[in-house]
Chain A
Amino acid sequence: MPTASSCDHSPARLQTGPGTRSIVLFGPPNAGKTSVYNQLTGSRFKTVNYPGATVDYAVGRLKGRTDVVVLDTPGIVSVVPRTSDERVAVSTLVGVGKLVPGASETPEVVLTTVDATQPTRHLVLVRQLLRAGIQPVVVLTMNDLARAKGRALDPDLLSAALGIPVLAVDGRTGAGMPALLTTLEEQLAGDSPVPHLPSVVTEEELQADFKAAEALVGSSTVLGQKPSRRDASDRIDRVALHPIFGLVVFAGAMSLLFWCVFAAAVPFQSAIDWAVTGTGAFLSTHLPNAWYSHLLVDGVVAGVGAVLVFVPQIAILFFLIGLMEDSGYLARGAVLVDRPLSAIGLNGRSFVPLLSGFACAIPAAMAARTIPGRKERMLTLLVIPLTSCSARLPVWGLLLAFLVPPGHAWAGGLALTAIYLASLAMVSVAAFAGGKILGLEPSPTGFQIELPTWRTPILKNALVSAMDRTVSYLRRAGGTILAISILFWALMNLPSRDASLAWTAGHWLTPLLRPMGLDWRVGISLLAAFAAREVFVSALAVVFSVDGAKDATQGILHAMRDAVLPSGAHIFTFATCAGLVVFFLIALQCLSTVAVVRRESGSVKFALGQMTSFIVVAWVLAVAVVQGLRLVGIS
């Protein structure tokens, strides 16, 4: 999934002082930029096989140097940016000083990559840079592949023709790096010229650039005679994009993906459950019977444990998306779904953001930067929160226990599939309705995507990236969940258990909750879920005072089964749980998502309008489901 190259590489964490010099990596997508970045910085930043995988810039230090930083930027095909990830890339050419404290406004060195297997398109960008007054250092990547194809390029000939340094580097093995580092040292000593970036490139200029690049490639190619590797990749595409087999493979891949998320996670979940239960039991037998023991066992262990159980599913989803990304399949997926997505106003480019949405809406919203058309991008941002993100998994797990007869694993699987399909249906309806309501013009730019060469995914890459993403998810969500669990326990127990603060707050919500068949305790848990949806489960665990010593999920279930309204009617019935499922499917309860959508859409009105309308629609539909079910005699 194209994630922001953020977290550990954000400039905020990199201490830089005055006199810092910068190297900006600027170049086309899928040209090995990130591999070169990793070589230069010693970072283990994963390289992915999807155009637009880097949607934000990354900053690292040049290996062994404290005064030189390297920036990796989103892939770009022209110095005139058209999408917002492209704007990020171009902005680094003139505004490094704003991103890296202590650096001059323009980078000392611009490093651009040219993939030797497809040099013409990439050399066009080099020519545009030269015209803009930038003298880039060209890194020729994949020349080994080009040689295998019988079409290697001679870096010296290219360098002589262009008048700038051209060095062949193998991003994976690091061959050619010493020479590159020497060149960089020389260039860093020079000054940083101010570029004159054009606001437009005319069609004539572009065509002339292509002609010149073709001539350049012609005069710098060292011909050999070998079969093309691209042909093998094209042969796979003939199946992967085939009208029938392509769809069969796609349906199979998606089914397998979600099946794995649920089935393969079971043993890990059992292990975590066992550990949480053990911890609770151990603590409650060894701690004195005091308030802090209850806080620890009922608040912290029960609350955090109920959420921890779902981490394996999240990790597996990240891992599998990583594998598909690495192989090049994600770009093919985008091609296969372009037609259906365009029918609802989206674009094939919406595929990766939407798929990522099933893990987490935040990286998904950032991935939407790669969508060129404004309408398609805004609509994608609109519907991303409707994809059933992993934070909802704990909620589904809990509610399904009331919707599906116990002891029928297949029925649970079926119900979960239904929820995911309902989530996709919501996406379609919202995209369609949103397009009408927002009145956005369809953009004329259509859909184009580069299909990177197929490659065998590297297991280690996918594992590392899944680990990184899961840890960063835990870091972001974990603290919140812990804090909310503690705060929640306090609200439930202060000033006293019978007249708690939560009781007061929850009662204000009663008019809204009664039609959903719920009481103040569920209401307050719903409120807590605004911090993060999965908090709903831990909040319920606290609100119905689950003993942390019991099995993490079973404990909540027992307490919920026994919970009754003042009238004596059970709270958690088939009808109310179905209503809650509908509510959680639609309501935009994640404040982090609202913040990211605001930033990505550039509109407070859009983000707040989205949140409000989703919550209102969610409540109305949830009430309709509960009351409708009751009308037909299902309580």
Chain B
Amino acid sequence: MLIGQDLMRADGPAKVTGAARYVDDVRPTDCLYGFTVRSPWAHARIDGIELDPAFDWTDITVCTAADIPGENVVALMTDDQPVLADGVVRHVAEPVALVAGPDRDRALAAVQHVKVAYTPLTPLMDPEQAAGSEHRIFRDDNVFSRISVEHGEALRVLEEADTIITGTYRVGLQEQLYIEPQGMIALPREDGGLTLFGSMQCPYYIVKALKRVLGHDRLNVVQAVTGGGFGGKEEYPSIVAAHAAVLALKSGRPVKLIYRRDDDLRATTKRHPAIMHYRVAVERATGRLQAAHVKLLFDGGAYNTLSPVVNSRAVLHALGPYACPHVKVDGLMVATNTPPNGAFRGFGAPQVMFAAERHMDRIARELGKSPLEVRRLNLYRDGDVTPSGQRLVDVGATQVLELALKEAAAPLPPSGVPDRAGGGGVAARVAPGRGVAIAWHGCGFTGNGEAALKGQADVAIEGDRVVIYTASTDIGQGTDTIFPAIVAEVLGISVDRVSNADHDTATVPDSGPTVASRTAMVVGGVVKQGAERLLEALKAEVGSDDADFDALLARRKSTAPLRVRAQYRDDLGLEWDAATYRGDAYPTYGWACVVVDVDVDLDTGEVLYRRLVSATDVGKALNPVLCTGQLEGGALQGLGYATCEEVVLDDQGGMRNNRLTNYIIPTALDAPEMVTALVEIPFSGGPFGAKGIGEIPHDVPAAAVAQAIEAACGAVLERLPMTPERVLAALPEI
């Protein structure tokens, strides 16, 4: 059995020896280096773009909107975002022009000499003022998305309820902070087309976008080894690719466009900030939820990107993993003149689950109960019905809670509290605290998304090897290791004989994007089906019913590749109505519990992490090392979201702390020791029972930390991040 084994990563040897080739490691002959001229204004009219006559432009290529051969649009959900601003800019850092030169220094110098004349206009910066404002950014109402989900009669029950608990929770922007910045190379092809090679999650998104930009489809997109994505390389690389492509077409040369970190932080998408209002009626004696009305407001920034889908996931997850008979959730996603927000691990769920879990704590506080007691009482159980009306089966909520608590009963590792006394100062005054939070996360696309998408994968015999063709990229999560294990398992051969073809759209089918915790669960299932079909095709070809792959292969006369295609089959019988948001919102759900132990420094407000225990229902861990690696990495991003990652904006909406010096992500010293326990409740629709696991670890660490801080010192924080300043401000007088 290969499934469930810790097979070593297929890309491991190349990654530990420095041999792995990321986009910036590749330098085509005669390559130009591209950079982007960006708007300094949140909103302005472009009056003209001129090239400084004092600068030597002989070896520099400059592109503006006028140089785009096809349509000036980044095709995604709607066609609102231009490749290059034309006449008006709607957010700071919006691309206005492009330059490319023979080396980085020359090209960077040229950026300074592209003179753009602007007339600044009054921007709309406040999401609470956006909907219906006279100031139009998107369509006629600045609303990217308005979604309501309703079950029962929440408003009526709230009207008649005697105990209603209300709370408002706020979360800020969060940067994905893949360690490899965005980057793309555009290479002119002999047929007049282009090859795009770069750092990305979704090759076919780029194909879709560039067909419109180029006005033809003579292009292929190839994924380079990619240094992290976390959603940040879901849709944004289409923009980088379009820019590199336009420069390459105009110059006739290969163009490499690598973002510097400061540019990447200022310009690229982030997690949506949100303001979330909860009104929940409870049974006073017990804390049982009776009715809830949740209003969510998200700031999408200046362009739509994928914001409606973020709103959708947020609305569906808004109450957390708790049963409530009457629910109404209203999600509103608006436009402002700020850089567009987009995909980031969890996709709306971490925002609402921070709020939902904090609201459970508030209910417990106001009723004089323990947070755990209120959770245990209300947690989903088999047969419970979600706000969209989906009847749940195989609910793992209680199981992950009890397992995490059991693991957390072990003694804590030594405290990492610095001994300030030794330095001549005062000894740190710290207070220990523990927090427990629980998540659910719908795996894969919402509703009938997979049935509509019909993701494909090919599996082929090539000589005595088997090759898998998918567009599902490995961005560190281990796809290129998992898929061969699935195929080798089905065929009964050594995994060494199975490999992935390069993720090149010239040769791989569209498997759908590498997002939404869907790759192992959904595309892995298609790959498994492909391996089964390959075995059948081989049997048919050699006219034998032998089950042994190598025996069949030995009888094969042809040496030509034998390649079969598999496509997502909707055998789950899901029923979903996207118009009413009723039905089976997700094919299955993951469940997770986080127990975090902290020390709160009562003098500085710093939160020091002692240990993070998690228990997660993963369906089936296809490769436990890779699986727990995802869970641990996601958990630490969640802790960063909790206490240290803050995007500070200036009055134009530009990121002031756009450097790693002051946008702080956790280091190895900040990170706690982690205990990562797995629960395996198999999902019948996933390969070998696997569920999606990529996003759920990010959902509730922040809520657990907030509860731990409150347990430690009584400070109640309802806004992320919980920086030392905010913790100090919330500290009760001691």
> Do the two chains belong together in a single complex?
no
Tell me the A residues contacting B by CB distance below 8 Å. Answer: none
Taking Cβ atoms with an 8 Å cutoff, the residues of B that contact A are none
